[in-house]
Amino acid sequence: MQKFPIKRRVGMFFGMLCLYVPLILVGGRLSLTTLREYYEFPSELSFSSFFVYGFSAIFILTPVAFFSLWPIFLGRRVSMKVQKFVTKYMIAVFIVTVAFQVGFKIYFSNKIENKGYVACPGTPKAWVPGMATRYAKDPQSCR
């Protein structure tokens, strides 16, 4: 097992603190806020199923952050057995995330169309083409 000097361990700690923790907290918070906004059904909304990846950040990066503590505090790598398990877990969560994203897109698109929303043509402002769809209850507001 590789040993880590204290200088590298301190750097790893601050790297984890500045990278993993914000991604976990901000990703989860943004996804939850977006989901809440969707279910308030405003008169206009820009729908994208990519908010699901914020939730997956919680489930993928939390174990990575946890296992990053091992070398930081103990000064050595996690065993290969644990690393293989975490890798398989991350792949499984990613596959579930993609499946959930597709399923949620189908479910929510049907739900908002049943509530009388109309898909507006074109790309919503501040979105890359193909990444989101703008829906409105009043077709006149699409223009």
Structure tokens at 46: 């820009």
Q: How high is the pLDDT of residue 53? A: 84
Q: Give helix 52-74 / helix 6-40 axis angle, nearest 10°.
A: 160
Structure tokens at 112: 């908002």
The closest alpha carbon to 141, from 39, 44, 42, 40, belongs to 44
Q: How high is the pLDDT of residue 1? A: 56
3-state helix, strand, coil in the chain (%, to 5): 70, 10, 20
pLDDT digits (tens), the chain, 143 positions: 577 888 888 888 998 889 888 989 998 898 999 989 999 999 888 888 888 888 888 888 888 888 888 888 888 888 889 889 988 998 999 899 999 989 999 999 899 989 999 988 887 877 777 788 888 988 888 87
Q: Give the neighbor-by-neighbor strand order of the sheet with 44-47.
A: 44-47, 133-136, 118-119
Q: Could you tell me the residue ranges of all domains in the chain?
A: 6-116
